[in-house]
């Protein structure tokens, strides 16, 4: 979707994140500036330890950057208090994780409506049914997670993320625990929520095929942006990842300036 003058869904400006103190310091993010337009699907890729999860958590307001700023729909996250952050996470943001994070004793319907009920809201039955239909679980309202396949469980987690009509869905390796075919169903579902509902998706993945479902791929290396690809294909992503290895080697080689 082209920029129509509306603010980006998420904007990061010179975000740094340093873990630990003194000699134990780890610079997880080293000055990242980027934005995620409304109604776009972005994949974030990079070697293990390159800062992907940290980027996602800072962008989602789950963690605070050491410096720099994060704007969500033009509101600066670091200026919000805990109450405002809680409301933001509940109303504007959805999360999907690799380990589906469903509660085993709750049914599908109860898992999906849990965030609303925790917020003291009454789930709208029709809305719940619509969302469960959309993820292909219309017949499974009363099943428990253990009675579902991995792909179905992840679709419950996606339904739970969709129930509040969030502006942005953050997904960290959402297909990491799924087999190839099931992963494709889940990716198609995410892609559909961008196309049909204008949701913004930011997804961390290490799989070039998963990344090819996105409109754009951002590459991270050593906590820095190391390029991006538009309209990615699995092949172009895989090729870029191979070069990224060389890029990281270049950064750590003595005498080489950092790019
Ligand atoms: N809570 C933490 N405390 C200390 N170091 C951390 C913490 N979280 C991540 N790191 C470090 O920050 C770097 C980036 O981690 P992460 O964002 O998880 O990378 P990725 O998701 O790309 O594998 C790594 O070196 C990791 O060890
Ligand atoms: Mg990670």
Closest residue to atom 7 of ligand 1, CA basis:
19
Determine the distance separating the centroid of ligand 2 and the alpha carbon of 59, expressed in angstroms: 14
Q: How many CB atoms lie within 10 A of CB 73?
A: 16
Q: Would the CB of 50 count as within 6 Å of ligand 1?
A: yes
Q: How many CB atoms lie within 10 A of CB 123?
A: 18
| Overall pTM > 0.85 | yes
User: Which residue from 29, 51, 176, 205 has its CB within 8 A of the most atoms of ligand 1, so it is best to mutate?
Assistant: 51
- pLDDT of 251 > 60? The answer is no
Can you give the pLDDT at residue 257? 41
Whether 235 is covered by a domain: the verdict is yes
Q: Which two tokens stand for residue 52?
A: 């992907």
Domain housing 36: 1-81+194-259
Per-residue confidence (pLDDT) for residue 1, from 0 to 100: 47
- Cα(182)–Cα(120) distance, integer angstroms: 34
Judge whether 52 lies within some domain: yes
Quick: pLDDT tens for 36-58: 999 999 999 999 999 999 999 99
**pLDDT of amino acid 120:** 86
Q: Is the pLDDT of residue 256 over 80?
A: no
Is there a domain that residue 28 lies in?
A: yes
* Structural domain count of the chain: 1
Q: In this structure, is the dihedral angle defined by the CA atoms of residues 107, 113, 115 and 116, taken in order, positive or negative?
A: negative
Instruction: Give me ligand 1 centre to Cα 26, in Å.
Output: 8
Ligand 2: distance of its center to the CA of 161 in Å? 19
Q: What is the pLDDT of residue 7?
A: 75
For residue 250, name the pLDDT band (cuts at 50, 70, 90): low
Q: Is residue 114 part of a domain?
A: no
Dihedral pair phi/psi, residue 211, rounded to 5°: -65, -30
Question: 16, 45, 49, 60: which to mutate for ligand 1, most atoms within 8 A of CB?
Answer: 49
Largest Cα separation within the chain, whole Å, is: 63
pLDDT at 249: 59
- For residue 54 the two structure tokens come to 């940290």
Asked whether residue 3 carries a pLDDT value surpassing 60, the answer given is no
The kind and range of the H/E element at 26 are strand 26-36
Looking at the chain, the whole-number percentage of residues with pLDDT higher than 90 is 66
Angle between helices 108-118 and 150-162 (to 10 degrees): 30
The upper half-sphere exposure of residue 8, i.e. CA atoms within 13 Å in the direction of its Cβ, equals: 19
pLDDT for res 5: 59
**pLDDT per position as a tens digit, 194-219:** 998 889 999 999 999 999 999 999 99
* Ligand nearest the Cα atom of residue 21: 1
Asked if residue 215 is part of any domain, the answer here is yes
CATH code for the domain in which residue 46 is found: 3.40.50.300
In a domain, 206, yes or no: yes
Residue 58's SS3 state is helix
Lowest-confidence segment of 11-15, 26-30, 157-161 by average pLDDT: 157-161
Span 96-150, pLDDT tens digits: 988 888 999 999 999 999 988 888 889 899 999 999 998 899 999 999 999 999 9
Pocket test of ligand 1: the residue of 18, 24, 25, 26 to mutate, having most ligand atoms within 8 Å of its CB, is: 26
How confident is the model at residue 134, as a pLDDT?
A: 86
pLDDT surpasses 60 at 67: yes
Model pLDDT for residues 155-176, shown as the tens digit of each residue: 999 999 989 889 999 999 999 8
226 occurs within a structural domain: yes
Average pLDDT taken over every residue of the chain:
89
Q: Is residue 204 part of a domain?
A: yes
Distance CA 183, CA 179 (A): 6
């Amino acid at each position: 979707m082209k920029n129509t003058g509306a603010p980006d869904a998420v904007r990061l400006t010179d975000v740094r994140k340093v873990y630990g103190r003194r000699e134990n310091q780890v610079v997880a993010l080293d000055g990242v500036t980027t934005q995620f337009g409304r109604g776009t699907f972005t994949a974030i890729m990079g070697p293990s330890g390159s800062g992907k999860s940290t980027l996602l958590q800072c962008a989602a307001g789950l963690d605070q950057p050491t410096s720099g700023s994060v704007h969500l729909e033009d509101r600066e996250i670091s200026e919000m208090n805990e109450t405002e952050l809680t409301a933001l996470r509940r109303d504007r943001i959805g999360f999907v994780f690799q380990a589906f994070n469903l509660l085993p004793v709750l049914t599908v319907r109860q898992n999906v409506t849990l965030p609303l009920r925790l917020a003291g809201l009454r789930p709208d039955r029709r809305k719940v049914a619509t969302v469960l239909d959309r993820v292909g679980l219309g017949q499974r309202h009363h099943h428990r997670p253990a009675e579902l396949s991995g792909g179905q469980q992840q679709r419950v987690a996606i339904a739970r993320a969709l129930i509040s009509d969030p502006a942005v869905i953050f997904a960290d390796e959402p297909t990491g625990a799924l087999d190839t075919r099931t992963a494709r169903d889940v990716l198609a579902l995410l892609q559909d929520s961008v196309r049909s509902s204008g949701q913004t998706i930011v997804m961390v993945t290490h799989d070039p095929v998963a990344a090819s479902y996105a409109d754009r791929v951002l590459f991270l290396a050593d906590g820095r942006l190391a390029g991006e690809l538009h309209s990615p294909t699995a092949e172009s992503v895989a090729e870029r990842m191979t070069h990224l290895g060389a890029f990281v080697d270049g950064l750590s080689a003595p005498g080489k300036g950092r790019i």
